[in-house]
Amino acid sequence: MNRVAILQLVRECPPSYGGGERVAHELAMEWLRHGIDVTTFCLQPKENNREMLPYSVPYKITALPRLSFGKLLLPLPSWGLICLLNRKDPLHVHLPCPAMLVVSILARLRHPKRFVHLHWHAFLQPPPGLHGLLIRLYQWLALRWVATGVQAVITTSPVLACALEEEGVPPGKIHILPCCLGRYQEESSFRIALARRSRGSLPLSKSFRLLFIGRLESYKRVDWLIQAFSSSGASHLDIVGDGSRRRTFERLAAASQKNISITFHGRLDEKKKQTLMHQSHLLILPADSCNEAFGIVQIEAMACGVPALALDCPRSGAAWVGRLKHVIGFPKLSREELTMAIDRLVDDQDLWMFACDAAEKRYSVCFARSNWQEKFAAHLV
């Protein structure tokens, strides 16, 4: 379908640090490259630290007025919302977010023939209690809407595509478009990979650095990583990011027997983050929840030639991204195997070098930007 304009609806203001915002930014940039005008509507204002991000934003962003009830955001009546609902241009809506779901339904009711497609980033893992019940209700409604109310759904991995089919979404509606790196990030990562190869093998017996990059929230399980690191032969753990659980994780690190070897960096600009990536031997995302459905930082690491390790979790594609467990000989990877997996790479330099090579090859085959652009053109232009 050839279109001259498209509207995009996302919870957080892109580009920012989160996976959803980064995906929304790359989609907007690619639509522009195809000559399609893009307006991105969001419920959050621009972050003050936007200058830390190496992204230009040539597309229009409209922040809709909203009420905030904790993490729940509700859009208020506004000229921007009226414009979004009244226009007949195709609408691309990013989930999970109850407000985004409601707006997509209203937009379709306003113009029944309007093309609406959803971007299914993740299944949510409901906690116990009333909050969990509300999440289950939201997710049930979202799945029914995906199955019957929209023309197409984009998701990020075969794992999520299979889960959507199991929930009753017709396979013909589902298209897989993995996350991607921006042009600047990919080029910088390739330079790091080249520099790492040119310096030859690293003395793993003396130094093996682990790296975590992400929001410091409970489901990210940085506590498990700190405990696994403390029991492993790795020499240093770098933790990049911020979030509501940072102080808790810092206290746990301080009580660790290897506390002087754990560094919390907070949020870093792209240059400092890539310096750490250059120095690292293994990236680990130990999340135990399907809320972590992909982990874009994994493909950043793989493009740099750094192996990326994620734990197995139902209805999450995070372990599928790097597939490192197959390289190092684990049929499954859970919390119990995490220290063993680290030590297998620490103790076997040839295996670690093979894992580095495998990470680069997997990136080039599955996640390279040129491949992503072809898939984008097939599904979203």
Q: In angstroms, rounded to a whole number, what is the distance separating the alpha carbons of residues 304 and 203?
A: 18
**153 and 192 co-located in one domain:** no
Give the percent of the chain with pLDDT over 70. Answer: 95
Q: Which amino acid is at 221?
A: R
Which residue, of 141, 157, 177, is where some domain finishes? 177
**For residue 116, is it within any domain?**
yes
Which residue, of 136, 154, 177, is where some domain finishes? 177
Q: pLDDT per residue over 331-371, tens digit each?
A: 999 999 999 999 999 999 999 999 999 999 999 999 999 99
pLDDT at 44: 87
**For residue 376, is it within any domain?**
no
Q: Which tokens belong to 194?
A: 């080249």
pLDDT at 56: 74
The tally of domains found in the chain comes to 2
**162 and 193 co-located in one domain:** no
Whole domain around residue 303: which residue ranges? 186-367
**For residue 296, is it within any domain?**
yes
Sheet holding 209-213, edge to edge: 262-266, 236-240, 209-213, 282-285, 308-310
pLDDT at 204: 57
Strand partners, 239: 212, 264
pLDDT at 53: 60
Angle between helix axes 222-231 and 338-347 (nearest 10 degrees) is 50
pLDDT at 1: 43
CATH of the domain at 135: 3.40.50.2000
Q: pLDDT per residue over 241-253, tens digit each?
A: 999 999 999 999 9
Closest C-alpha to 322, from 280, 285, 281, 362: 362
Give just the sign of the alpha carbon dihedral 161, 358, 325, 337: negative
Q: Sort 47 into a burial class: Cβ within 10 Å, 0-12 / 13-18 / 19+.
A: middle
**170 and 317 co-located in one domain:** no
**For residue 263, is it within any domain?**
yes
**For residue 378, is it within any domain?**
no
Which residue, of 127, 144, 177, is where some domain finishes? 177
pLDDT at 159: 97
Q: Is 136 helix (H, G, I), strand (E, B) or coil?
A: helix
Question: Which stretches of the chain drop beneath a pLDDT of 50?
Answer: 1
